[in-house]
Amino acid sequence: MLKFDELWSWSIFAHPLLVGSQLQKIEHIRQGLVFTFYGRRLIYLVFVSSPRRGLLFIANDHWGWTEEKKTSPLLLFVRAHFLNMRVSDLSLDKNAGRVIRITFAHGGFWEFVLIPGVVNLGTYYNNKRVTLYKPLPIPPLPESESVKCTQYVGGSSVVDFASEYQRWQALLGSLRKDGEPPSSTSLTQEEFVRRKQRQLAFLDEDLKTKAQDLKVLEEIPQLIFQDLRPKEEISTLLKKWKLDWDGTNAGWIKIQDKYYGILKKLREKIGATEEKRKDISEQSYEDWLALMEQKQAVKAQLEKVQAQVRQFQVDQYQVIYGKSGVDNLKLLRVSKPYDFWIHDAWNPGAHYIVKLAKNQNLPREHLVAICQGILKQESREEGEFVGTYVRYVTPIKGASPGMVRYQNEIRMRVTLPHH
């Protein structure tokens, strides 16, 4: 269990783990956000974005957080400007160290505001800022304590902050400082039971939070029409769900469709979480082993497909390709996010994957040479190509096999040199 008396201790603990590591993934979960960094090992930076009190902690194992199928401006901004970037510094910043700043190698940075009532994450790059919530002014420290950042975290003592942190750590499991976490496919029955208990405890906490939110939401119409609480207080409550109410009945009519939509979604999320909890609680060790065997069989099948794909070499680059939509779908499944995907626009159905090492860039002149190699394979002298990294390519559900969506693409027209 990580123990500390002040935020400085957290920054000292986190600094060697995060500085020099690379951001690989960002997930929007029901309790907040999970950032996956890779340095000497995988590290998960978890931001619990409760408006009451935010928490920022590190885990070295993924504890079964449920990813929300949600795309927000913040996620798009981070994925566009910070994905695969390395951390250059971590420090306590602003307002007597109540804001944690993580700086990246390209100059952009994040600021985690850990102050009750104004909990937030702000991301900054090239003078552009995107935040998780609408920014609120950071309250000043008491004048007498303005230089004692070890005593206050937004009006709460650091001891309270630390105990809240430790409660979450106890819920998700203590940090294992030595060695890598055990493989999820080789758990003993005792390890399976402990992991199951952690998952159930996390889901119980999630359900408790959602039930409280649902109770507050359901009471709002009664509070408005029976005038049980001041309108300003009700308006503040509604802002948590991004509902702007001006305090009038006409204003309520304008937002009630959105209000009932939020209410419906929250009930659906509670139902889905309860269903997931039921599935986890009823899953036996034997059922889990059978599921792992099934996943291993699928993985072996994909490896077999990878061994059978067509391929050729251009300088130091290995290029694999398919001749049909089904082949193209198999190619995506066996490719890594950092591989490079190419589509021959003049040859429908022809997709190519350039195998790359992790963190390896593909210079434009090398990409041109690869496209020329594709033209030689096709016995053509000219062609038009679209390319992007595999992480930006997604199969279209319900469409024909091989149909994909892509973004951040490069388009180029290539001809073979004439001797």
The per-residue pLDDT for 63 is 59
Q: Six-digit token pair at 207?
A: 């359900």
Straight-line distance from the first to the last Cα atom of the chain, in angstroms, rounded to the nearest whole number: 68
CATH level 3 topology of 7-179: ibrinogen binding protein from staphylococcus aureus fold (2.30.310)
pLDDT in tens, 188-197: 888 888 888 8
Burial class (CB in 10 A: 0-12, 13-18, 19+), 404: middle
pLDDT in tens, 250-293: 888 888 888 888 889 889 989 999 998 998 889 888 888 888 88
Domain boundaries, the chain: 7-179, 182-307, 309-415
pLDDT in tens, 90-142: 887 655 556 888 999 888 999 988 777 788 899 999 889 999 888 887 776 65
Poorest-pLDDT segment among 77-91, 94-108, 364-378, 380-394? 94-108
The per-residue pLDDT for 104 is 93
Confidence grade of residue 159 (pLDDT, cut at 50, 70, 90): very low
